Structure 1
């Protein structure tokens, strides 16, 4: 069996990263406190990830209203000679501006991000929202500001959020989501697309292609978040937390599935256990490798609340890669899960996953 390749991946624009990185979103969740004990716990987790090889560190100005950036900045100061790919995002904090993307507000937010992270240059800066005001009033200004930051050497690459559609969306809504992404993609011309993706993410076709083949054709890298569906695909009960809305008002996190949808997931996981066994960590390993092996120009970021979670996730890369047959089998099971979840979203009885 072929060992999983942990060689650094090229996302474009000179960005090279270990296949598995860390997302700091959990640091800013409303159910996490800001005590020194909790800060120390998160810092220990980040240190562990760095020791295990992670160099892609992903955050946003909206995670804990800057707290995640500040904590990551503390970590970066501990490793002044390490080659990190630091990624942050903008687009949700408005402050006193009329809109998160209004006029020079991006520039002000970027300066604060630099101060929080204690860096002169970011590897990746991502437009984290598709809302550019009425009639996309602030779209041109947002693009100009990011291009200027790149030209000045303040950032290496420009990112944008990828497409997402909630379960139960109509065909028209799916087309509208794809069309909106394609419209913005052609104008922003991102170097990297940041997207939530896992085996049960609703599929959106882009010019008849998957996100992976589409971005490869345009030379854009991909960063995938939520590969375990917040623990669901690892067989764990996800934390119930208010989820950020997607472009059509649906949850982007997958944390608030209905009971019938959760039944559909569990039925699919039973099929996976029947085929691959039920050893500890098997489900997490399969879910992670499934995302990582979708394309060579993508990297995956995992969230964490404990150091142990990060250790378990990085341990998943120590074994063999999934074979072509195993990837195809998981494709079939995940497809059936998505079909059953769609049925459940419309109030129909989900079918048992069959392979």
Structure 2
């Protein structure tokens, strides 16, 4: 699989990675053996980049990755984790003592002395403008707790603030055919600064798979049930902030843009991969078959200009009014 670099760090990542929120919590239950099978299928398909967080299943996702790495010491993986959501998202909680405690816990969960990459996990906007926060992150690197650091953001304004910080290796941001705003300023700024872009929520919480209907029911423990209006965390994390009914209709239109032999999900992933500035895209998977299918998007030929134009037209007509000015 194609490898791309985080230019500031030189770290290499597969253009198709694996997000492991699903393996920890909030997407319905995934038993441990099934989770390990998903990891193995992704790695066998060429994935070298895994994204996790200390709060995914209260560390379960990190521990599953550690168990898998112990079973597969030959796998050359770069694992990114996230920190900052173990306490209320208040600016005063983002300081060096907490960073040390959080990274020490993740190091233990992942079974490593030094984290490959740690990311602030969607902190409040004020955090991105705090010199003390970024001094503390630099200290984590100097102390060997993490090799590099990045941020995961909710808004484009937050992304631009993070990119301006010289120590930022990567910015993780929602980017998919239902969330086009990052194309305007964020991706060009990242290219100019040499900051990697990690595209998350690439299938709009599964909407862009084209498999859901107005009658689809999600489990009570699935964020697509309990966070549709932002009840538990930022609404943009669930269906990219698009209301479900609109999303289902727009996804059906998007599915008709898929080239012969490709699924709707693969088409969405291929669209993201070819956006200038994207380093890697991190779809989740709950089965080995899904992990392999997602990875297959990396082998698809680039989408033609007519398809790219059709995606923009669909977004402008059906989606823009709901999400563009919010994030």
TM range (shorter): 0.7 to 0.9
Name which of 228, 244, 247 aligns with 1:265: 247
Q: Tell me the residue number matched to 1:288.
A: 269
CA deviation profile, 1:150-198 (whole Å, cap 9, x unmatched)? 234442321012343xxxxxxxxxxxx62x5544543574110011211
Give the 3-state SS of the residue equivalent to 1:305 in structure 2: coil
| Backbone CA RMSD of aligned residues | 3.2
Unaligned runs of 5+ in 1: 1-5, 165-176, 346-355
User: 1:1-355 to 2 correspondence within 5 Å?
Assistant: 6-12=1-7, 13-30=9-26, 32-33=28-29, 38-94=31-87, 100-131=93-124, 139-164=130-155, 178=157, 180-187=158-165, 189-201=167-179, 203=181, 209-237=184-212, 239=218, 240-241=222-223, 242-243=226-227, 250-255=234-239, 261-276=243-258, 281-339=262-320, 341=322
CA deviation profile, 1:16-75 (whole Å, cap 9, x unmatched)? 1110011111122246447xxx01100110011111111101101011111111111101
TM-score, length-scaled by structure 1: 0.77
Give the 3-state SS of the residue equivalent to 2:265 in structure 1: helix
Tell me the CA shift for residue 7 of structure 1: 2.1
Query: Is the contact between residue 11 and residue 297 of structure 1 (CA under 8 Å) also seen in structure 2?
Result: no
TM-score, length-scaled by structure 2: 0.83
* Paired residue total: 312
Supply the distance in 2 between the matched residues of 1:269 and 1:244 (Cα, whole angstroms): 17
Unaligned runs of 5+ in 2: none
Greater Rg over alpha carbons, structure = 1
Tell me the CA shift for residue 284 of structure 1: 1.1
Q: Tell me the residue number matched to 1:350.
A: none
Give the 3-state SS of the residue equivalent to 1:194 in structure 2: strand
Give the 3-state SS of the residue equivalent to 1:119 in structure 2: coil
